[in-house]
Amino acid sequence: MSRSGPITTDVTSLALGLAQIRVLASAANINKINPQGTSADSIGALASTKYMGNTDWFNFESGFPLIEDYAIVTREKASLECAFKELSPANLALAHGIDPTSGYADVHSGEIALGGRTSAAYVRMEALYTFPDGVNKMHIIFPRAQVTSSPEIDMQAEDAVGVPIVFESKNASSDVSGGHAVWDDKPLGRIMFVDV
């Protein structure tokens, strides 16, 4: 008997597991379109990773009764939500909108000043997802992102913390100070698939 319904077309495209999140200095890498991070730039073990491409649409209608003719993008955002398990000064600084690539190298020594914050620092966020086949990869690159979260550290008696943060991609094109022309046709970054 032949099968029907949504049958898998390519098992190597099935996604299972989490992406590795790498954080780098934005300004030093703004002119680089390809991934620059290494595992040394990773924020460590994670409880979750979720990409979100929020889009607002204007639906044009005509006729009587009105029917939809066309949909136009009026607002576009890209963000990545994750929850880190490793409670280090660098990760907690990141959760507070501080650039962790400047002065948070020690795992158990450092300070995060509370109060008096203004705007979140720009960082480069690269998410590397390796498919279960161990060969194919997907990179999500936000060349100029800000972490705009309200940090919560929920400590449990028999479970690791999972501190949620959200990377919001911001305009990285040459239209803004701190941007670069390599991002002019993809101002929020890009998702890149690599067939190794």
Distance CA(168)–CA(80), nearest Å, equals 7
Both tokens assigned to 58? 């204007």
Q: For 6-10, which contacts have Cβ atoms below 8 Å and span 24 or more sequence positions?
A: none
* DSSP 8-state code for residue 42: B
Distance CA(101)–CA(82), nearest Å, equals 18
Q: What is the pTM of this model?
A: 0.93
Mean pLDDT by 10 residues, the chain (196 residues): 85 91 98 97 96 96 96 97 96 96 90 91 98 94 95 91 96 97 98 87
Q: What pLDDT score does 8 carry?
A: 87
Judge if the upstream peptide bond of residue 65 is cis by omega within 30 degrees of 0.
yes
Beta-ladder partners of 73: 57
Angle at 84 between CA 143 and CA 33, to 5 degrees: 15
Q: What pLDDT score does 28 carry?
A: 97
Residue 44 neighbours by CB distance under 10 Å: 14
Q: What pLDDT score does 65 carry?
A: 96
Q: What pLDDT score does 57 carry?
A: 97
The rounded radius of gyration (Å) of the Cα atoms in the chain is 20
Q: What pLDDT score does 196 carry?
A: 63
